[in-house]
Homo-oligomer: A and B are copies of this chain.
Amino acid sequence: MINEEYKKMLEGKSVIRQLSEFATARGKEIGYENVFDYSLGNPSVPVPEKFTEVMIELLKTKSSMELHGYSPSLGITSVKNKIAESLNKRFGMNYTGNHIFPTTGAAGAVAHALRCVTKPGDEVLTFAPYFPEYNLYVNMTGAKLKLVPANTEDFQINFEKLEEMLNENVTALLINTPNNPSGAVYNSKTLAQLSELLNSKQKEYGHDIFIVSDEPYREIVFAGVEAPYVSKFYDNTLSCYSYSKSLSLPGERIGYVAANPRCTDAELISAICGQISRGIGHNCPPSIIQLAVSEVLDQTSDMSVYETNMNLLYNELTGLGFSCVKPGGTFYIFPKALEEDAVSFCQKALKYDLVLVPSDSFGIQGYFRMAYCIDTEKVERSLDALRRFVKENY
């Protein structure tokens, strides 16, 4: 029989999807270049040329079996070793290939990591504003996602609320830095304080509390911003990464879980992920993509456009009187709306062909998200619409 629980999930309409559909439909009327579509976080810059070269080289030179044969169930050893080396060099860690489990992007990484360190009924805490897909990742494990209210001053952690919400049932915290949707990057002070708090709570409760650290935007950090590596601060950390943003290949579904070598059962995490993977039929990211990415680990796409766009928008928005925390990274900005009801605010913006996402689905009211992974030229043209929208409505 059709599973009713999954069937019911179809009824929930995604606001972001609805907005994106509006943008597409409107684009057919007036030309998509005239719709200022800030709804979707789809990287807008090309993959590094080297990636394409490596792919073609692999296809031309490797035997079919080497290239397209089954990857070992825990990932290709040479690929995992290279990822470990790269992380060690960049962040002063001590990973070996055994601590790395390749996944289908950060989504796969977070879903695997959560299953690894929770059991049904456990509580997982995350922080507003947050990526709404977290609800699905956590619900599907049988654990419960609880939302720690935002620190709206700078979108670092609201420690007062976090301490109130920590209890014996919490076995994992799911954090996301640089953050979607706020653009905030947790600084060393935040991470040190978080580590100290969790270490003391682990002792108090007599059990592990893991940080599942969702880091797909790790490489998109703006000038002068410190972006410390979460796992350096706290042993029980599973770092979840994706090459979707740094190499602009979200469709190829490639990322990993990296288990801190000092975490509980560090040597088993990858093997446990392998068991989870077997059960859901995931069985490793595609071989050729694993092999190709391992040749360009320390490259990124040219992501300077994101910082250019951020500065344009930040300056315009604050000039227009918006209250806005300046993003430290990502390709999102998260200003306060000019009325309490962000949904109504974003509805009005649509009349100016400005597609903004109200903050309600990110777990906080009264804000909106702009995903500025679009051409700078379009950002520039949107500023006039933004000015007219504000002037005529507020």
Contacts and interface: CB of A to CB of B under 8 A. Distances in A.
Interface of A: 1-7, 9-10, 42-44, 46-47, 52, 55-56, 59-60, 63-65, 67-71, 103-112, 115-119, 122, 133, 136-137, 139-140, 171, 207-208, 210, 248-254, 264-265, 268-269, 271-272, 275-276, 278-289
Nearest to A249: B68
Nearest to A4: B119
B281 A251 contact: no
A252 B4 contact: no
A251 B63 CA distance: 13
Contacts of A63: 46
A275 B271 CA distance: 26
Contacts of A122: 1
A356 B5 CA distance: 43
Contacts of A251: 67-71, 284, 286-288
Contacts of A118: 1, 3
Contact of A286 (B65, B252, B278): B252
Given A248-B64, A272-B7, A108 B1 contact: no
A6 B55 contact: no
Give the oligomeric copy count: 2
Given A250-B68, A251-B288, A286-B253, A117 B1 contact: yes
Contacts of A136: 275, 278-279
Nearest to A106: B281
Nearest to A9: B275
A268 B116 CA distance: 31
Given A4-B119, A64-B249, 12 more contacts: A1-B117, A1-B208, A2-B264, A3-B117, A6-B276, A42-B65, A55-B55, A56-B60, A68-B249, A104-B282, A108-B281, A288-B289
Contacts of A288: 251-252, 289
29 contacts: A1-B118, A1-B171, A2-B269, A3-B115, A3-B118, A3-B272, A4-B119, A6-B116, A9-B272, A42-B69, A59-B59, A65-B248, A70-B251, A103-B281, A104-B281, A105-B281, A106-B281, A107-B282, A108-B282, A110-B281, A133-B278, A136-B275, A136-B279, A251-B287, A251-B288, A252-B286, A253-B283, A253-B285, A286-B286
A208 B2 contact: yes
Contacts of A2: 116-117, 208, 264-265, 268-269, 272
A26 to B, nearest CB: 19
A359 B276 CA distance: 25
